């Protein structure tokens, strides 16, 4: 499986696509453009972000916000409030537990259920 080809198949923003699984962790690809992701946290799970294209503004509680560029990696630890946004289209790879909802306990317009998704 080629990650770039899989990204090309992602047609919607803020709609993570599961491409693989390793030891109960899901590998997801998402395209981000705009500020629709609300502040949220994941109570029990860490979330890894790896930027594949473009740049991502990462805001994390208790830290200065910072911009992630291509091949930058950052892990938001469990329970930590965070928000991501991007003015231009940005491609990100995520690693998170099977049980992680992408907007945490916060329901928003972009909240998706992955229960039925195949990969």
Question: Smaller CB distance to a second copy: residue 36 or 114?
Answer: 114
Tell me the closest approach of the beta carbon of residue 109 to a second copy, in angstroms.
Answer: 27
Residue 8 CB, shortest distance to a second copy, in Å, is: 11
Could you write out the DSSP letters of every residue in 3-15? HHHHHHT--SBT-
For residue 103, is it left (φ>0), alpha (ψ between -120 and 50) or beta? alpha
Give φ, ψ of 8 to 5 degrees: -65, -25
**Local structure of 16: helix, strand or coil:** coil
How far apart, in whole angstroms, are the C-alpha atoms of residue 27 and residue 17?
Answer: 8
Given the complex with a second copy, which of 36 and 101 has the nearer CB atom? Answer: 101
The least CB distance from residue 78 to a second copy, in Å, is: 8
**Pick 64 or 71: Cβ nearer a second copy:** 71
Task: Copy the structure tokens of residue 53.
Answer: 């294209």
Q: What angle do CA 16, 19, 24 make, to 5 degrees?
A: 95
Query: Least Å distance between CB 21 and a second copy?
Result: 7
Residues lying near a second copy in the complex (CB under 8 A) are found at: 1-4, 19-25, 27, 45-48, 50, 69, 71-75, 95-97
| Residue placing its CB nearer to a second copy in the complex, 3 or 106 | 3
């Amino acid at each position: 499986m080629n990650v770039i080809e899989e990204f090309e198949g992602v047609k919607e923003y803020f709609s993570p696509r599961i491409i693989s699984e390793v030891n109960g962790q899901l590998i997801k690809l998402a395209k981000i453009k705009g500020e629709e992701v609300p502040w949220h946290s994941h109570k029990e799970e860490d979330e890894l972000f790896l930027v594949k294209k473009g740049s991502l503004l990462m805001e994390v509680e208790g830290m200065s916000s910072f911009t992630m560029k291509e091949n930058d990696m950052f892990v938001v630890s469990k329970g930590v409030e965070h928000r991501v946004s991007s003015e231009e289209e940005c491609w990100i790879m995520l690693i998170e537990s099977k049980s992680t909802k992408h907007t945490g306990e916060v329901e928003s317009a972009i909240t998706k259920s992955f229960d039925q998704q195949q990969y």
